[in-house]
Amino acid sequence: MQIKINKIFPEAIIPIYATPGSACFDLHSLTEAVIRPGEAAILRTGLRFEIPEGWKMLVFSRSGHGFKYDVSLSNSVGVIDSDYVGEVLVKLRNDSEETFDVRVGDRVAQAEVVPAWQHDFEVVSEIKETERGGQGFGHSGR
């Protein structure tokens, strides 16, 4: 499947997959920022995506940011719906004790395009019972 991309600025970087086995492609920043501990910054990608109907783009933190620098997406996972055609922005939060510098061209997030199913909902008076029932929040001991 081909995804159409609109470069809002000529210097915007078209995403690529880093390796043949990569599940996600990288998003690059057009914004320079110094993110202080406990703060966040909104970074521009300069890109608009035309996501086909029935699909969505999910935006994730880069694993290296989280493991090495305690930096992650402020909203955990971004969801770009097929009817959103504005610029994709990335908001990074710094949960470390050190400043985190972002330069123009840095990889700041990763994304993938996946199916987006919509379902019909039916209101019922009861749902089936299971062995687990309503137990959650670590009930299995893990």
pLDDT tens figures, 43-100: 999 999 999 999 999 999 999 999 999 999 999 999 999 999 999 999 999 999 999 9
pLDDT of amino acid 139 = 66
Residue 9 has pLDDT above 70, yes or no: yes
The whole-chain average pLDDT of the chain stands at 95
pTM, rounded to two decimals? 0.89
Provide mean pLDDT across the span 21-25. Answer: 96
Instruction: Determine the pLDDT at residue 115.
Output: 97
Share of the chain above pLDDT 70, in %: 96
Helix (H, G, I), strand (E, B) or coil at 134: coil
pLDDT at 142: 60
* Residue 141 pLDDT level (bands cut at 50, 70, 90): low
Return the beta strands (E) in the chain as ranges.
Answer: 4-7, 25-28, 33-35, 40-50, 55-60, 71-73, 78-81, 87-94, 100-102, 107-115
